[in-house]
Amino acid sequence: MPQTLAQMRFNCAKARQRMATARAQHWAFGAFNLDDEPTLLAVAAAAKKMNAPVLVEVSHGEVSDIGLDNIRDLVDNTKQAYGVEMYINLDHSPSVEAAKDGIEAGFEFIHIDVSQADHNASDETIIEATKEVVAYARLTGALVESEPHYFGGSSDLFKDKIDYELIRQTFSTPEGAKAFVEATGIDTFAAAIGNLHGKYPVPKILDLKLLEQIRNALDCNISLHGGSGTPGHYFKDAVKIGVSKININSDMRFAYRTELDKILKENPEEISVAKLVTKYVIPVVSKVVESKLKDFNSAGKAII
């Protein structure tokens, strides 16, 4: 059932405090995409086992499929059943209106990214849209995240190697990050330092020296999108530097699909796919989440 405004404000205030704690103690929230209920249960099981705080996040596609209020209820019921610390992030919300809907649904984290709908959106358009969402978020106290330009890739499995000469053109700069944060008043800056959406045939390489420079230039939180396919040592160093939120999607989807294909071939007579997902797929996806929580130094950090 829908939350009251008082409940939303309480949850958002706690989320805000916990992000400050993560930065101070050098650990990061894992933000894991919620494709369906089994994915949510996999994240919850990992959070329970590791005693780690987590975010589950949905993008515009999942919102269209499941619905904001249904997502809110699913997460609330699951975190109560498992006894875990869990918040919701609206990821890459493509419009101000969609972001406002997420705020009104009680999501604790809101990522406004109008460049998703328009890759060529002007600086002025992005700044004005972000400022409007920041102002509206005062209704509940939700934390607002954004970036000043389109962030490349997608949550897919790519066959081509990463063209770092190309993506380096869209790396964040300390000066640009500071100017954007000051212009918008966001709570979290989504840095681009070699992280890229999707899973590639080669490991991703993060520019940690650049991350240090961005961290020194900003007073707000820093997040890393496109964490899948990144060697764990980069995450361990990134949280020491001061990253407090890391997004993971493609690694989970790859594990889900790979295990499901394997189990379907091994069980050709089983017509209940749901049974196979529960028994075999959820534990495999949960292992992926567990490994990330270790890298993010968030194991043992949950407060219920």
Q: Compute the distance between CA of residue 142 and CA of residue 122 in angstroms, rounded to an integer.
A: 25
Q: Does residue 155 register a pLDDT over 70?
A: no
245 pLDDT band (50/70/90 cuts)?
Answer: very high
Q: Which segments of 26-171 does DSSP mark as H helices, in order?
A: 37-50, 60-66, 68-82, 96-104, 123-136, 164-167
Q: Does residue 203 register a pLDDT over 90?
A: no
124-149 pLDDT tens trace: 999 999 999 999 999 999 999 999 97
Q: What is the pLDDT of residue 168?
A: 79
Selected from 3.40.50.920, 3.20.20.150, 3.20.20.70, 3.40.50.150, the CATH number assigned to the domain covering 5-251+289-295 reads 3.20.20.70
Element housing 32 (H / E) = strand 29-33
81-98 pLDDT tens trace: 999 999 999 999 999 999
36 pLDDT band (50/70/90 cuts)?
Answer: very high
Q: What is the pLDDT of residue 201?
A: 66
Most confident of 28-42, 141-155, 156-170: 28-42
CA–chain centroid gap for 178, Å, is 22
Extract the tokens encoding 251. Answer: 């690694």
Q: Does residue 67 register a pLDDT over 80?
A: yes
For tokens 């890393």, name the residue. Answer: 224
Q: Which segments of the chain does DSSP mark as H helices, in order?
A: 5-25, 37-50, 60-66, 68-82, 96-104, 123-136, 164-167, 174-184, 208-217, 232-241, 250-266, 273-276, 282-295
Find out whether 138 and 12 touch, Cβ atoms under 8 Å: no
- What are the boundaries of each domain within the chain? 5-251+289-295
